[in-house]
Amino acid sequence: MNQLHTLDYIVFFVYFISVSTYGYYIYHKKKSSTASSRDFFLAEGSLTWWAIGASIIASNISAEHFIGMSGSGFALGLAISSYEWMAAAVLIIVAIFVIPVYLKNKIFTMPQFLSMRYNDTVSTIMAVFWLLVYVFVNLTSIIYLGALAISSISPVSFEWSVICLVIFSLVVTLGGMKVIGYTDVVQVVVLILGGLVTTYLALTLLSAEYGYGKNIFKGLSILRKEAPEHFHMIFDKSNPYYMELPGLSVLFGGMLVNNLAYWGCNQYIVQRALGADLKTARKGILFAAFLKLLVPVIAVLPGIVMYVLHNKGLFQQEMADAGGVLKPDHAYPTLMNLLPQGLKGIAFAALTAAVVASLAGKANSISTIFSLDIYKKYFNKEASEKKMVSVGRWAVLIAMVIAGLVAPALKSLDQAYQFIQEYVGFVSPGVLAIFLLGLFWKRATASAALGGAVLTIPLSTVLKFLPVWTNGGFSEIAFLNRMVITFVAITVLMIVMSLAKPKKEGVHVIEVDNAMFKITTGFAVGSIIISGILIALYTVFW
């Protein structure tokens, strides 16, 4: 089944040539007369609101959404959508309260903010950490999961999939943020179109299996009837997956901590908006929030469909590994292999678009942090603009090659996506505490930030292995609940340390005033619409 036909290849190559040609056109059309590092890293003043919004989503969505989230839809149901729908709400918060501070203070990188607000020690420690995580966790995992998915639905081997993804991503990334931002618009259109095609196939397949023909609305009603337990957003303690999504923590607890850290303190997300004016940046982020509402439709619903079909006796072999053990992550590749000629090419292009766009975004952020926060600060303080762009390109190339070489090693992991999510979650609470206090509390000190940075991972590790007594037995603390505890503990620690040893007046002050947080009528209307949709979704599927 894992083969592409002539029409699929034609569709895919049309996509590949279109993206490459458009990227080349953007690179030359918007090329500056001087090689500006800000232009290369941030596309300063060049990205429109729709390019910013599309680029944010393209950087975020990757193989883990199509493969991992669909698999979670198979196992957990619609509840996994909280990662996407709550992100939409958090994006609004970030647009109102966080982005204005970055833009007002001319922040280009997250380590630069830490250096300006605290000191170079905190900044460098976090810069090195981010570089290591971006290369060895983010880039590596995206290449691994992308190559795994591509090799499962096409005749291309895993190794060649890795090589092709690295090369294609380099073509996009080396043109700088302008090329990434505008090609991401094409990538998002392709990945949403391809995702909707697969969802349509899944629902019509379900409808036909139950004797109603190819009727997607019948397919939706069958889902609610045959898998009612898969349409609850909030789990109680009796649910077998409560530890993964512990009740109201998906609304007010760990999910909020996770999303605020990801969307507000993450270089490869925030970077898209740092080169724009405030009005454009906010419109772009709001557009990204609207797109976020769509993700469960293309990533979660197909997994629930496969759950119902599997329970009916279909795809027993396809959904199992070589040992006969059920693998929820096989849900999406199995569906893609059922697509007819041409449509499979679209879905294949969508998956590739998601992976390449995400790789390009992260690689550009790696080059930005390395060039501005490591190379220029410690190796060549007098580096010219041209030299900075050159160093940035070399950083992209080296990072991609390293990640491509390391990616095959992840084959030894049974659940790569879940492992990576939890690993990154060990530091997210501390990062969020450091940033929030740095942004909105003038008395926070550098020593307090350093203490928070150093203690976050040890505290998260202790909580992971700390047994708690529940329901007559010992168990570990739910992952999202651990994030809340760590965030509160690090915040309290930083407050105590800051009050115990106040910083000197007039040093490391970030400029903040209330006028920054005023929003336009259009932004307010858009935010209300998104909030209303979210309230309706959680009310209907509570």
What CATH number corresponds to the domain at position 127? 1.20.1730.10
User: What is the per-residue pLDDT for 285?
Assistant: 94
Percent of the chain's residues with pLDDT above 90? 19
* CA–CA distance, 123 with 118 (Å, rounded to integer): 8
What H or E segment, with its residue span, contains residue 468? strand 468-470
For 113, 132, 435, 455, the CA distances from 458, given in Å and listed in that order, are 24, 18, 19, 5
Is position 206 within any domain? yes
Q: Specify if 42 maps to a domain.
A: no
Instruction: Give the span between the Cα atoms of 257 and 82, in whole angstroms.
Output: 13
Interatomic CA distance for residues 74 and 341, integer angstroms: 25
Q: Give the model's confidence band at 55: pLDDT under 50 very low, under 70 low, under 90 confident, else very high.
A: confident
**487 located within any domain:** no
Structure tokens at 389: 């762009």
> Which DSSP letter does residue 320 get?
B
Report pLDDT for 493: 95
In whole angstroms, how far apart are CA 274 and each of 98, 182, 281?
11, 15, 8
Residue 137, both tokens: 């966790």
Residue 199 CB contacts under 8 Å (≥ 6 apart), including other chains: 297, 298, 301, 302
Percentage of residues in the chain having pLDDT higher than 70: 88
* pTM for the predicted model, two decimal places: 0.85
Residue 305: name the closest of 234, 386, 233, 209 by CA: 209
Tens digits of residue pLDDT in 82-107: 989 999 999 999 999 999 999 888 88
pLDDT at 393 over 60: yes
Residue 496 lies in a domain: no
CB 289 within 8 A of CB 92: yes
467: which DSSP letter?
Answer: -
Range with the poorest average pLDDT among 112-116, 172-176, 465-469: 172-176
Average pLDDT score over residue span 62-75:
80
Scanning 383-478, the segments in alpha helix (DSSP H) are 385-406, 416-425, 428-440, 446-465
Please report which confidence band the pLDDT of residue 505 belongs to, taking 50, 70 and 90 as the band edges.
Answer: very low
SS3 355: helix
pLDDT at 33 over 50: no
Phi-psi group of 332: left, alpha or beta (phi > 0 → left; psi -120 to 50 → alpha; rest → beta): alpha
The secondary structure of residue 342, as a DSSP letter, is T
Whether the predicted pLDDT of 126 surpasses 90: no
- Name the residue with higher pLDDT: 174 or 445: 445
DSSP labels for 9-73? Answer: HHHHHHHHHHHHHHHHHHHHHT--SS--HHHHHH-TTT--HHHHHHHHHHHH--HIIIIIIHHHH
C-alpha–C-alpha distance, residues 337 and 320, integer Å = 15
- Residue 106, burial from CB neighbour count under 10 angstroms (0-12, 13-18, 19+): exposed
Distance CA 325, CA 209 (A): 25
Report the number of distinct structural domains present in the chain.
1
pLDDT at 517: 87
Residue 17 lies in a domain: no
pLDDT of residue 39: 54
CB burial of 115-147 (b: ≥16 within 10 Å; e: otherwise) equals bbbbbbebbbbbbeebbebbbebbbbbbbbbbb
> Could you say which DSSP state residue 174 is in?
T
Residue type, 141: S
Q: What is the mean pLDDT of the chain?
A: 82
Instruction: Give pLDDT, residue 95.
Output: 94
Return the bridge partners of 474, or none: 469
| Averaged pLDDT, 236-242 | 82
Check residues 528 and 14 and name the one with the higher pLDDT.
Answer: 528
Least reliable range by pLDDT among 65-74, 100-109, 390-399: 65-74
**What are the beta bridge partners of residue 468?**
475
With a cut of 90, say whether residue 539 has pLDDT above it: yes
Mean of pLDDT values over 222-236? 89
Domain that holds residue 371: 48-377+386-425+512-540
452 pLDDT more than 60: yes
Q: Angle CA(280)–CA(42)–CA(49) in degrees, nearest 5?
A: 20
Domain contains 138:
yes
For residue range 473-495, list pLDDT tens digits in order.
667 788 888 889 999 999 999 99
**What Cα–Cα distance (Å) separates residue 476 from each residue in 75, 195, 256, 488?**
21, 36, 21, 19
**35 pLDDT higher than 60:** no
How many angstroms separate the first and last alpha carbons of the chain? 38
CA angle 383/388/394 to nearest 5° reads 130
Task: Read off the tokens for 270.
Answer: 């925030």
Say if 20 falls within a structural domain.
no
Residue 34: pLDDT above 50?
no
For 474, the 3-state DSSP assignment is strand
Q: Give 178-194 pLDDT, tens digit per residue.
A: 666 666 777 778 778 88
How many angstroms separate the CA atoms of 379 and 177, rounded?
24
HSE value, Cβ hemisphere, 13 Å, CA-based, for 475: 11
Q: Is the pLDDT score of 52 beyond 70?
A: yes
Structure tokens at 340: 């007819």
Is 177 contained in some domain? yes
Q: Which two tokens stand for residue 396?
A: 């992209």
Greater confidence, 409 or 101? 101
Which amino acid is present at 102?
Y
Radius of gyration of the chain, Cα coordinates, nearest whole angstrom: 23
Burial class (CB in 10 A: 0-12, 13-18, 19+), 30: middle
Evaluated on CA atoms 441, 447, 452, 453, the torsion sign reads positive
Amino acid letter, residue 182: Y
Q: What are the residues whose beta carbons fall under 8 Å from the beta carbon of 444, sequence distance 6 or more?
A: 117, 118, 437, 438, 494, 495, 498, 503
Predicted local distance difference test score (pLDDT) of residue 506: 43
Q: What is the rounded distance in angstroms from the CA atom of residue 445 to the CA atom of residue 131?
A: 24
Q: Is the pLDDT of residue 523 over 60?
A: yes
Query: Who contacts 360 (Cβ-Cβ below 8 Å, separation ≥6)?
Result: 59, 169, 172, 173, 180, 183, 184
Question: Do the Cβ atoms of 517 and 97 come closer than 8 Å?
Answer: yes
E strands, 53-184, in order: none
pLDDT tens digit sequence for 260-298: 998 998 877 887 788 788 999 999 999 999 999 999 998
